[in-house]
Amino acid sequence: MRRNRNRAGWPAPRAGQLTNNNITYALPSNAPGYNFQAHLTGRWEETPAARQHHDPRAAATHHALETARTVSGLYPLTEHQTAQTHINSRLGSSHDLDDAPVRLLWAQVQLTVDSSDIDAVVCLQRRMHDEAQNEHANRQRQHQAEELHRALSTTPTLALAYWLIRQPEAADRNTIDALSQLTREITAYAPHTAWVQVAHLLQTFVQDLPTPARMNLVDSLAQIFTRYDQPELAARLRALAPQIQSANGHHPDSPPGGPHLGA
């Protein structure tokens, strides 16, 4: 392209349109592999410089497309109108290119989307939503299982109660005896349940004590709790005194339930 020289001797700056509107460009969406189809229009002009760009239209077009791609990647295909508005708000004012003596006067894109791609993206979004919900539910179940495991490990006899609540129709004498044996083995081998063993030793110790001695033991333990700044625990222990009058920890007028802890 020959350029006319102005009176000062400099070539007249070139100017023109960005591209033919029949050309279609692919702009990425936020779903990899699914693109917007874009038609680009606009105008450019050269800026004064000692060395002009060989193809200023290509430079201006590249800048407009890179700006559009940065914005379009934020949106799903289902929001092509919103994405188009956002892109055109960025391209609507003039901008001097940093790496070429070219000014983009304005640009505008028109986005279109293939209907089959929209259907595919909607299915993808639903699947991702379902997977996220399933993952959340799995995390909740895992958390509940961990909490239950800690509770059962700390209080093994809770396993029997939990199982009876979940499977009341399957309970019989054999299964109860089997679970009772299981909880005793858990207590014996779980390293963090040593204090349960201490409770078993206390249960064994008080079996042959007369009632006054058991009450004296309760009062002594309550004093120890108070000495270590646990008055609330001391009060709760003293509140249990009527039950502790019996060797098995039950009121004298109520039958004991569950396996014998001192066995």
* Token duo for residue 13: 């700056």
Rounded distance, CA 101 to CA 45, Å? 9
Closest CA to 225 of 211, 210, 239: 239
- Is the predicted pLDDT of residue 144 greater than 50, yes or no? yes
The per-residue pLDDT for 1 is 47
How much is the mean pLDDT over the chain?
A: 78
Give the global pTM. 0.49
- Is the predicted pLDDT of residue 29 greater than 80, yes or no? yes
Are 5 and 11 within 8 A, CB to CB?
A: yes
Confidence of residue 183 (pLDDT cuts 50, 70, 90): low
pLDDT per residue as tens digits for the range 192-207:
566 666 776 777 777 7
Q: What is the number of other CB atoms lying within 10 angstroms of the CB of residue 57?
A: 17
Confidence of residue 180 (pLDDT cuts 50, 70, 90): low
For residue 89, the Cα-to-chain-centroid distance in whole angstroms is 34
Mean pLDDT of 92-119: 91
Rounded distance, CA 13 to CA 18, Å? 16
- Is the predicted pLDDT of residue 142 greater than 90, yes or no? no
The per-residue pLDDT for 16 is 86
- Is the predicted pLDDT of residue 32 greater than 70, yes or no? yes
Domains and CATH numbers, the chain: 15-113 (3.30.479.30)
- Is the predicted pLDDT of residue 168 greater than 90, yes or no? no
The per-residue pLDDT for 4 is 54
The per-residue pLDDT for 87 is 96
The per-residue pLDDT for 263 is 37
- SS3 for 5-28 is ECCCCCECCCEEECCCCCCCEEEE
Percent of residues, the chain, with pLDDT higher than 70: 68
The per-residue pLDDT for 115 is 87
Confidence of residue 243 (pLDDT cuts 50, 70, 90): confident
- Is the predicted pLDDT of residue 62 greater than 70, yes or no? yes
- Is the predicted pLDDT of residue 15 greater than 70, yes or no? yes
